[in-house]
Amino acid sequence: MSWPLDSFLIGLLPKRRNTCLLCVDKQQRTDNLKEATGGWTAAAIELVYDDILRYNKAGFDFTADTVDFDNFRAGVLWWADNVAGMESDWRQDILNTAKIGNTAYGYTQITKATLPTMAKYWTQSVIRYNREGTYASYGERKWHPRTPISARLGILKTPDWVEELKDKSKDHIELIDALTYDQVIALTIVHAKAKSNDEDWVALQSGNETSCKTLYDYGHHTAPDAETIKRSKEFFICQKTKKPTSSWFSVFD
C-alpha cells in the first residue's frame, strides 16, 4: 500500500481562513513555478501531524482539539512553499556553486548527502505511523486522517519513489530532476520535522513568524549565515489582513 497520488488532491485543499493569512505574493513565484503541490505533500503533512499528536510531547496538550488540522496544513504549506522561494526562487534546476564542493540542487537545495537521509526519515515516519517495531506502543490515533487511502486502510509503506532515493550510488541531480515539485516539498517537510521541535510546527497553525524562521534555520538549512538570515526575513512574513494574500493560494487560483 502506498500513499495517494495527485488524483486524491481534490477535497484536500486547505480552507481559506482569514484569521491566518501568511505571506505576500511574489512575482518570481508566478514566473518561475509551473507545478503545484498535491497528494504527496498532503501525505507528508499527515505524517507530521500524526507524529505530533501521537507523541504528544510532555508539557504540551497536542490533540485534534488544540492543533486544528486545516490551519496546521495551511501553515505547513505556506512554510514549505517559502522554503522553495528562499532556496531557489521556485526554480527546479538551480545548483549552488557559491562554494567548492557544494552539491545543493533543486527547488529546496537538497545535497547529495541529504537526499538518502530524507528517504530514511520518510520510512521512519511510516514505521511510527503504523506502530511497528519499537513503536508498537506508540500513542493511539485519536484523529481521522483526511487522505482517502490512509483513512480507509491505515497501513502504509514507503513509496517506491522514496525508496529509490536511498541508493547513494545514483547521481543525486538526476534523482531530483525526476521528482515533481509536489514530491520535493513532501520530502522537505518530513526531513525538517525530524530535526526540529514539535511546538514550532504546531505554531504554524497561527502563523507564528519566529517558529517559521526557526524551522527553516534549523529544520531545513541547519547553518544559516548572515545573508541567509537577512533573506529569510523577506520571505517569512506573517500578515493578519482581511483579504487572502498567501503565496501558496495562488497555486489554486
pLDDT digits (tens, 9 = 90+) for 161-182: 999 999 999 999 999 999 999 9
Residue 3 has pLDDT above 60, yes or no: no
- Which helix or strand (DSSP H or E) is residue 42 part of? helix 39-55
DSSP one-letter code for 143: S
Residue-wise pLDDT for 25-50, tens only, equals 567 788 888 999 999 999 999 999 99
Beta bridge partners, 110, equal 105
Decide if 77 contacts 220 (C-beta within 8 A): no
95 φ, ψ to 5°? -110, 125
Mean pLDDT of the chain: 80
Q: Which three cell numbers stand for residue 147?
A: 487522505
